[in-house]
Amino acid sequence: MSTTDPDPSPAAPSSVLRARRSGALRGSCHVPGDKSISHRALLFGALCDGPVEVRGLGEGGDNMSTARALQALGVDIHIAGAQARVQGVGFAGLRAAAAALDCGNSGTTMRIMTGLLAGRPFETTLVGDASLTRRPMRRVAEPLRRMGARIEGRVDPARPGDVFPPLRVQGGALRGAHCDLPVASAQVKSALVLAGLQAEGRTEIREPSLTRDHTERMLRFLGAPIAVDPTSRTVTVDPVGWGGRLHAAPLTVPGDLSSATFLLVAALTIPGSDITLENVGLNPTRTGALDVLAAMGASLTVEQTGDAMGEPVGRVRARASRLTGARVDGLLAVRSIDEVPALAVAAALAEGRTELADLAELRVKESDRIAALARELGRAGVTVLERPDGLVIDGLGGRSPRGGRVVPEHDHRIAMAGAILGLSGDDETLIPADDVATSFPTFADTLRALGAALESG
Ligand code: S3P
């Protein structure tokens, strides 16, 4: 079978987006496939017992990192736009890679792969870009080691007690374990589920708060022996008596609510706007941002239209609204963790104060997002207080944000946040275009089609 190279054609390194005050956004559109669900469709598709068709695949750089890593492990994957054909080989069909697996910018690729490879009888080295190389990996290595895995990472004297990429995973026999996770992380939970499916005996994974549950939903859809107790936030994997195979089935990925949130915030903050986004994933572990925006006074209409692989899907309409400050903390913070950059822009343009708390995890995302948002909002003239676990933002309340040059440090969500803030500014805002492609390569085209003043070049 032919295998295309899923590497997206790289944009010119100097390409830039120029945002300035925009007229109303209007119309209806689709957003690209959900990044988290696309990773899982590729990974779990590869573990199925036959060919798997994936529809609506996210085409961003992170998902392509997962596709390339699987190809390096001997999986035949053919990608054409948002369609993919993954030749499932089962756990046993994976082969040692000839070289280190390059996970690029994608923490999800590295962490979930680590759990998968911990149970395979060969050694793998996982590497990433400069941003991923700084991200903490003890959270995944430690519980896997308790299941018998042999994982080594780079030690950084400046951050004792943790390990960092590159990771060396010497796979082998695993035993089930009870894992009480100290950090709420869907990536770690997913890694342990994949290790648990390969282990001898039962594995229980208890998380401190409920994180996104795409892994549980998709693996159950494919016939894996997984039970979920939402009250105790425990996932149980019990492979005893299971044939060890996931049953191939077509996988349809919903649109990415994280990408959608940037468009929604743009529409809510640009006077006269009225947009509708179709086929957006509405998994309740991910919809915190919609709740936050509603609490800020947003005119949002959310309508569930269907279901894809156990994932609710629907239509979201946003109309320009007078936003006021809000407080985000606790479970709401976990349910909107990836949307905080977009929410921070809504807060910056709102009237009054917004407090974002319980978000210390943002310090170890693709960048230190708390510091990055404080810096970028500050550059735009917004009064921001940086706290260890969040931000206090005093909204401009009708005043124009200053333009300038956004420095996202290769963090896609900081780049997109800078762009949508720039759409309300009198002066021009410049954003490096390449950084956006990690999750939303069609970001600028989509916004332009809705009428945004966002030029490329
Ligand atoms: C993801 C989980 C989240 C999220 C990340 C994607 C996933 O991180 O922030 O962008 O696909 O599992 P955690 O593992 O910290 O929950």
The 3-class secondary structure across 428-456, one letter per residue, is CEEEECHHHHHCCCCHHHHHHHCCCCEEE
pLDDT at 14 over 90: no
CA of residue 108 to ligand 1 center, whole Å: 6
Confidence of residue 429 (pLDDT cuts 50, 70, 90): very high
- Probe target for ligand 1 pocket from 185, 207, 215, 259, with the most ligand atoms within 8 Å of CB: 185
Give the pTM.
0.96
Q: Is-contact 270 22, C-beta < 8 A?
A: yes
HSE on the CB side for 326, CA within 13 Å? 25
Maximum Cα interatomic distance, the chain, rounded to a whole number of Å: 65
Residue 333: per-residue pLDDT: 98
Q: Alpha helix locations (H) across 199-269? A: 214-221, 257-269
Q: Is 350 exposed, middle or buried (0-12, 13-18, 19+ CB in 10 A)?
A: buried
pLDDT tens digits, 269-294: 999 999 999 999 999 999 999 999 99
The 3-state secondary structure of 119-133 reads: CCCCEEEEECCHHHH
From residue 214, give the alpha-carbon distance in Å to each of 37, 191, 308: 6, 13, 11
Percent of the chain topping pLDDT 70: 97
What is d(CA 391, CA 393) in angstroms, rounded to the nearest whole number? 6
Whether the bond between 166 and the residue before it is cis, its omega within 30 degrees of 0, is yes
Q: Is the pLDDT of residue 12 over 50?
A: no
Q: Tell me the CA–centroid distance for residue 306 and ligand 1, in Å.
A: 24
Pocket test for ligand 1, best of 212, 235, 311, 439 (most atoms within 8 A of CB): 212
Ligand 1, residue 36: give the atom nearest the CA: 11
Provide the mean pLDDT of the chain. 96
Give strand pairing partners of 454: 19
d(Cα 87, Cα 46) in Å, to the nearest integer? 6
Q: Is the pLDDT reported for residue 217 higher than 60?
A: yes
Mutate to test the pocket of ligand 1, among 39, 65, 108 (most ligand atoms within 8 A of CB): 108
State pLDDT tens for residues 150-201: 999 999 999 999 999 999 999 999 999 999 999 999 999 999 999 999 999 9
Residue bearing the CA closest to ligand 1, atom 4? 338
Q: Which atom of ligand 1 is nearest to the CA of 338?
A: 9
Whole-Å CA distances, 222 to 49, 175, 316: 10, 23, 28
Token match 């290790």: residue?
195
- Average the pLDDT over 31-40 and give the result: 98
Q: Which residue's CA lies nearest to atom 16 of ligand 1?
A: 185
Q: Which residues are catalytic?
A: 338
Contact 356, 347 (CB under 8 A): yes
Residue 117 has pLDDT above 90, yes or no: yes
Residue-wise pLDDT for 87-113, tens only, equals 999 999 999 999 999 999 999 999 999
List all residues whose CB is within 6 A of at least one atom of ligand 1.
36, 39, 108, 185-188, 190, 211-212, 337-338, 361
Ligand 1 centroid – CA 433 distance (Å): 23
Nearest atom of ligand 1 to the alpha carbon of 365: 9
Task: Give the pLDDT of residue 457.
Answer: 82
Q: Are 20 and 403 in contact (CB under 8 A)?
A: yes
Q: What is the pLDDT of residues 380-423, one digit of tens each?
A: 999 999 999 999 999 999 999 999 999 999 999 999 999 999 99
Q: How far apart are CA 314 and CA 306, in angstroms?
A: 6
> Which ligand 1 atom sits nearest the alpha carbon of residue 334?
16
* Residue located nearest, by CA, to atom 9 of ligand 1: 338
Q: What is the mean pLDDT of residues 201-220?
A: 97
Which residue lies with its CA nearest to atom 11 of ligand 1?
A: 36
Spatial CB neighbours of 157, under 8 Å, sequence gap ≥ 6: none
The closest residue, in CA terms, to atom 15 on ligand 1 is: 185
